[in-house]
Amino acid sequence: MSATETLKRNKTKLIEVLCGDHTFILNKVLEKELITRRDYNNLKSINKENVEGHVIELVDKIMNKGEKTCQNFLELLQTDDVAETYPDLERIKLQDVLPKPVPATSPCNADMVPEAKRLKKDEVYELNSQPVGLCLIINNENFHSLKERRGTNKDAESLADVFSWLGFKVLMCKDQTRDQMEQTLKLFASLHDEEKQLQLQELDVQEWCGRWLPAPQQPVRHGDAFVCCILSHGSLHKVSGVDSQPLAIKEIRRYFVATEQSPLTGKPKVFLIQACQGDKIQRGVLQKDVEEDSLTSIPEEADFLVAVSTVEDHVSFRHPIDGSWFIQSVCEQLRLHCPSGEDITSILLRVNNMVGQKEGSICVGLKKQAPEVKFTLRKKLILSPRCT
């Protein structure tokens, strides 16, 4: 029996069960990309008097998308987390087209990643170290004269959670001035130096272990990749310290250029920057062609990726409780697509699309945001979940 026919035969019972938590299944089908973000927004905002009406619309939408989507939907219904949420699914005969249940999460063995296996060895950055590398988060929340950045701790925890899942050792420095940020970044760029190691131990560094704890006083070593996340206020091409003094993004990058001594030479260095780049508000238009900047790299500046939450001159949006559009989208897309072996530039393309669909006003198109990604990576960077 086809998946579409299976859904048709069991539609009434299925709707009855899914009404138990209609928002959970709606979020799940979006997460698995069975519906588009536009579908999701429409389904979420439809004017129905009861929960059943919402579920009927969702199931009809799935069935109208064809056999493959119906098959994927049936597989989703058999994943562990969905089965636990809707235990009554067991009494519905959905297994006719499914040989076995599908696990809720993808295997974390990098050898199981299809795309990584298809690529030649010299086309992908090798990530064999344990841990994979360091993830440094500079989280500026409380400023001397600027507004408190409410919601930034949510961003910091989301980043820490996802990058520790990807095998990184995650460290955080909180509320740093411009000079302190510069000192911290230069220290992390020079960890091969014994003197720098001693200076680093003098900083107030926290380590993520499911929650923030004081970092142990022991040497910190780089691995096969480096990630730096800076969460702060900002201005054009700059990020601000808590003293409102600016630090140029290009200067941050220069601290990490390749040298004969640097442990990061030839290794990927990713910078995720959540900060306004001006005070203009982007507005939506029906359609616009976007040209990418062509980057000319020289060897010492190879292997960089810099993703900024918004384009130059414009603001970047942050929810006081849920965190920023950009960082939360990055974390969500990494969770969704790293297990399948998708490379980071492709994932950030998804982030751009996701952020671009968000609305900062009840009036459609009034407040929009577009992140900007530039890179001089020479290979694909594929981050995979690590078994713990």
Which candidate in 22, 54, 222, 233 is catalytic?
233
DSSP code per residue over 123-140:
GB----SSS-EEEEEEE-
Full strand arrangement of the beta sheet holding 238-240: 234-235, 238-240, 246-248
For residue 293, the number of C-alpha atoms closer than 13 Å in the C-beta half-sphere is 10
Between CA 154 and CA 334 the distance in angstroms is: 16
Contact 284, 242 (CB under 8 A): no
Instruction: Reply yes or no on whether 173 is catalytic.
Output: no
Distances (CA, A) of 209 to 161, 163, 216, 290, 329: 9, 12, 12, 41, 22
Candidates 213, 152, 144, 138; CA nearest to 180 is 138
Question: Which secondary structure element, helix H or strand E, spans residue 347, and what is its range?
Answer: helix 344-356
Which candidate in 276, 314, 331, 338 is catalytic?
276
Between CA 143 and CA 232 the distance in angstroms is: 9
| Angle at CA of residue 329, ends 344 and 132, nearest 5° | 40
Instruction: Reply yes or no on whether 209 is catalytic.
Output: no
Candidates 160, 165, 208, 204; CA nearest to 184 is 204
Q: Which residues are catalytic?
A: 233, 276
